Amino acid sequence: MNPVAQAWAYTLARVAGLAALGVLLGLMLGSVIAGLLVMLSIALTWQLFNLYRLDYWLRARNLREPPNAGGIWGQVITQVVRLHRRKRFHKQRLLDVFRELRHSTAAMPDGVIVLNANNEIVWFNRMAMRLLSLRRRVDIGLRISNLVRDPRFVQFLDKADFSAPLEVPHANRDGLALSFQVVPYGRQQRLLLVRDVSRQVALESMRKDFVANASHELRSPLTVITGYLETLVQDTDIDPMLQGPLGEMRRQSDRMNAIVRDLLELSRLDAGDAEAAYDTIDVAGLLAMLNKDVTARPRHPQVLLSIESPAGLLGDEAEVHSVFANLVENAVKYTPDDGQVSIRWWVDAQGEAHLSVTDTGMGIPAEHIPRLTERFYRVDAGRARTTGGTGLGLAIVKHALEHHGARLHIESEEGVGSTFSCYFPARRVWQGGRQSTIDAAR
């Protein structure tokens, strides 16, 4: 028999025994009912007393020292103790896991902040506290944008486009740069990761400075060399044997000059604001001028200029000029003299402006297209040398277009020709009228 059944049998037997004793007592005293009543009330009192003890014990919450009780009461107490132990064990295990988790997030080298749907702070770790000078406990429940008030950060949170992290210099500590990244999870919860990127930013700016300074330093000696070469080439007293090499030297020094110029232009684009200015640009005039430059050359392919919209652009004139000039120059360079270059300018129904430059040149193999805008990228080494390009033209185009929120699209078929198209967003289009100028100024 198992102990539970045993306990039940024991308890029932006791009650039955007491009842029998009551009947016996009643028979002796003449009233069976009274005897039974007395004995049963003793039994009831005993049960009630045990119940009281159980209640008292549970209330006292001192589960270490269970009361001694026999029969079914003892069984109940054992069950309670067992239940409690099991619960405590699970709780402890959960707590351990939780604590472990919290310690590991707290020790993370990046700042971690948990935000709710209203961007209110739910939790943050030690690093976040240090980087954003948050205060433990006080700042829980505050909106993160109330404490990190940098306009760029506030805009970043509002826009809710978290595809790319945001980098901003720290407000009150010089030389410290922070990168913010938001990871949405769960029910409208957000994880805000804060990283100290001062080192990367410093390295990046060192790299940029180096390129800019190096190009600048190269310029002065180059100017001297070019100057002397120019006079030497024109000097008729020089041995005709040297004329060939001198001419080549001059061409190469011209090319070096062009490379240095483009490098400087690129570093200027790198250093500039993320968003170009909104000056009005007369695109039709600009294209006509570029067309005239090309047709003035002794040998050039046929150029078809079709301007289908009177609209202009709002942007940085020098940058837009360099975009258009580079595209036209490339097309002319890679098109044989019996070929054709067509330049088209139009505004589509959505208000976006397009410039496309199509040539009938040799075309570009598809695998090279995605890498064309990299600095010094060559489709094949032979090509550029003969045409004297710098290898930086398309990189400049890409950067300058990014400044204007525009993008470059390249289509090409080998042996047939290529099309380079720029898409300018509607906000960059200048309708040319007086009203639109006022709108633009807003």
Partner 1 sequence: METADLSHHISRRFNEDLEHLRGRALAMGGFVEAQLAKALTSLYEGDSSLGESVALDDLKVNGMEVSIDEECSRILATRAPAAGDLRVVVAIIKAITDLERIGDEGEKIGLIASRLASMERPENKYREIKHLGRIVSEMVHDALDAFARLDAESALRVARQDRLVDEEYEAIHRQCITFMMEDPRTIRRVLDVMWVVRSLERIGDHAQNICEYVIYMVHGKDVRHTSLEDVERELRAKGSQP
CA 157 remoteness from chain centre: 12
C-alpha–C-alpha distance, residues 423 and 429, integer Å:
11
Q: Which is nearer to partner 1, 150 or 204 (CB)?
A: 150
Smallest separation, CB 198 to partner 1 (Å) = 17
Smallest separation, CB 191 to partner 1 (Å) = 21
Site for partner 1 in 209-228 (CB under 8 A): none
Residue 228's CB is within 10 A of a number of other CB atoms, namely 13
Three-state SS for 20-42 is HHHHHHHHHHCCHHHHHHHHHHH
Q: Which stretch binds partner 1 (CB under 8 A): 42-50, 133-141, 235-243, 403-411?
A: 133-141
Structure tokens at 179: 């990168």
Q: Does 245 help bind partner 1 (rule: CB under 8 A)?
A: no
Q: Which is nearer to partner 1, 124 or 334 (CB)?
A: 124
Q: Which stretch binds partner 1 (CB under 8 A): 40-48, 136-144, 252-260, 335-343?
A: 136-144
Q: Does 175 help bind partner 1 (rule: CB under 8 A)?
A: no
Q: Which is nearer to partner 1, 121 or 422 (CB)?
A: 121
Q: Does residue 383 sit in helix, strand or coil?
A: helix
Structure tokens at 385: 């040398």
**Cβ–Cβ under 8 Å, residues 193 and 108:** no
Smallest separation, CB 91 to partner 1 (Å) = 30
Q: Which stretch binds partner 1 (CB under 8 A): 130-138, 227-235, 280-288, 365-373?
A: 130-138
DSSP state of 201: H
Considering only 150, 167, 204, 352, the residue that binds partner 1 (CB under 8 A) is 150
Q: Does 141 help bind partner 1 (rule: CB under 8 A)?
A: yes
CB-based burial, 405-418: b 16+ in 10 Å, e otherwise:
bbebeeebeeeebb
Bridge partners, 316 (sequence order): none
CA 161 remoteness from chain centre: 8
The amino acid at residue 179 is S
Q: Which is nearer to partner 1, 57 or 180 (CB)?
A: 180
Q: Which is nearer to partner 1, 170 or 255 (CB)?
A: 170
Note the residues at the interface with partner 1 (CB under 8 A). Answer: 118, 133, 135, 138-139, 141-143, 145-147, 149-151, 154, 171-172
